[in-house]
Structure 1
Amino acid sequence: MCAPSLIRLVVLSASLSALPSWAVEDCAYKGESINLNNGNSTAKLTGTVRCVDRDTKKETHTVSYRDGKKDGWEVRRWSDGRAIEQEYKADKRHGGFKRFEDGRLVETSTYADDNERGEGQRYHPNGKVAHRYDRQPDDAKSTYADYDDTGRLNEAGCGLQSSREAGIKDCVWKGASPLVFFHANGQKRSVIPLKNGLREGVTESFDAQGQRTSTISYAAGLRDGLSTEYSGTTPRRSTTYAKGQMEGDETEYFKDGSKKLVTTWKDRKKLKRVEYFQNGERKNEFVVTGERAVDSQFNDDGSLRQRQAQALDDSKYRFEPDGVTESFFPDGGVESREHYVEGRAEGQRQVWADNGVLVEDSQWAKDRVTARKRWNPDGGLVEDDTFYEDGSRKKKP
């Protein structure tokens, strides 16, 4: 999850010299005129330079020096109520930072050795904190929190570049339990029980109208147990986790709440996948045992339609037909039987009519038919051919 606030937090304090200054300034040190744009005039300066607007005589700029380097506070003020205050040490930003608009404080931050570090805040027009963050050299240890203009918490977490919500493993929330996030309309968005600053128990989430959207079980900041997503009052998907990994059944549901798809996971591997008709009968079942699998297709009355043996193709990261594939009539009788090796038809293929009479018996090599006999359902022979590699029939003597 990437917090929307991060986009706003990245663009923080601007360089004082980069901001426009429309007024003409007169600067002086101990009553003597000085040009701050001339490095020679400040090369050995120790003390505070003060600048005023030439027309209004109001103070616009103050900057402190020690041995020719900025050291202490530099303050810029504009007639429209904007102002910036930045603390320096040996010509590097070091210490506090403040920014004002229309005379009100809108942002504070801290610097160390010319890099933004430590705590900072931005404010709503009513003066309440909008964003609070603690920037650390290791971004993963940085923290953030966003608030609405009433002080309600919208988001909180760790990392300002790639963020994780508060209470997730390795992102300890130091506030009270439960941690509660709110929508803009004041409706609770998430209620998150904590233990030692990490999520523990069931976290509930809601939409802006108060309708529950999910429940997620946690232990020590990791998903552990059942997580369920909802559409209205009906479950849409439920997943079982163990120590942060899917382990057990992942279930999707039809709109009426009946099962649509159940996938079973273990050690990050898919062991079984069962798709259902809405009437509750199986539609497809895929079962994995090691590097082998059986894929079965069913009719909506529950009868088996096709069963195929498969093997894992490591080069393609998927299962391919390997072994016997059988198709069945609704009464259970065999309709066809064919053999595959590594995804290609190889060996005998047989097809039966619904009266049990064999109507095709063919031989295959690497997906190519080499010989084929066909009969009518009454048993009369209608074809007896062999084939070249290009698929053409060999001429009979």
Structure 2
Amino acid sequence: MKIKTICAVLGVSLLYPGMAQADIVQRLVVTSMAGEPDSEGGDVFTIAGTTACGGKQIRMDARSMNLDEAPYEALKVQLAERMRARTPMLVTVKQCPDDASVPIVREIAACTPADCADGRARLYLHERFYPIEREQAPNVLLLPLPKDKLPGTWKVEIYSVAGRKLRLSGHVNRADYAQGELVGGYVTYYPDGKIEKQVAQDGQGRQDGFTSLYRADGSLESRGNWRHGLPVGTHQQYHATGKLREASVYREGQRVDGPVQTFDANGKLSTSYVLRDGRMEGELLAYFPDGKVSNRTQVSKGKFNGSTTDYYPDGAVRASMTQRNDLPVGEALEFYPDGKVQSRQQYGDGGGLLSVRRYSPQGVLVLERRWDARLREQGTSRSWYENGKPEHAIDYVNDRRDGWSRSWRDDGSLKSECRYVAGKAQGDCGEAPPAPELQRKEQAWRAL
């Protein structure tokens, strides 16, 4: 599990700059210090026994310990006293070097009973099991790794720092966990001890055999067979209810073309479509629980291209629009259950909303807004009461209030008005905020 490899195996796709930093913490007895600094100006110390990295030396300097020169020299004086008394110390090295060089010490401190009780070295690990600094680590691995029954492998058992619960069990092909790769299969566990994932592997670390994923409640989430790193046969995904969500068939690592169906948590048909060259093609259908169609969408080469229509449970059209490469274009309509238009929305070629008009169930226009090609609100945004009388009118230029902002009562009388220039209120308005009703209405507009 070279860091890059284990992240790929366990589903982590993004590495941050500090992720390669490891902390190996070990009880050591420092016996002597070299008379002269090494070629890089560092102090080299000899220890009794061996480090977790396999040698009998450690190296440190003021920079590695994050100290100024004076505190570092004082630390060496204290360490000399410990060496004479052969007092065990708790030593943290940054990582085991890839080559045969001496590991660099990041911290050295007095032993505590909790840290030094068993004398084992500890490698601290991220939630997804790659090495990180001790302070940030939820998991820990005891070193050195014991030899496993499978020739050329070492046994790995990773535990949570807090609860001492097993989080991963498996095998690596190197004695150095951080430089090895998981081989022969592994199991990961949730913090409460339930199985999260079971992965079968071959001796080269490729998925080979069945892989099963489980939810935190113990229910099966997915299961499928692999051969030499490629999916084969039928792979199933399940709802937490235990009902099948989807079954996908693979041949030679590729998903087999043909009809596909998905099901809801109660086992009812949810969607149906056709795969061609591994992508959706034709018509994607979604269904209500009673089997009636709730949506029809035209698909080409895996993208929405063509008409999309949503339906009410009784079959009446709820909404319709056209899409091009997954983006809305032209006019999109929403309807009330009786067929009256609820809204008209106009989209540009790039999928941006250019205008919206909304209507009451009685057909009265209640909202009107416009944007330019750069998605900035322009012109006068208006709303009306359902009796047709004006409610608000706000002038915009380039997405800022510019001009008059007015609101009226439902009897048609003026309630408030204020003139803005480049987003700032003018004259008697001062900087006072608009009426709460107007503010709420504008927020509602912008949420559309």
- TM-score, with length taken from structure 1: 0.46
Higher relative contact order (CA 8 A, sep 6+): 2
- Structure label with greater radius of gyration: 1
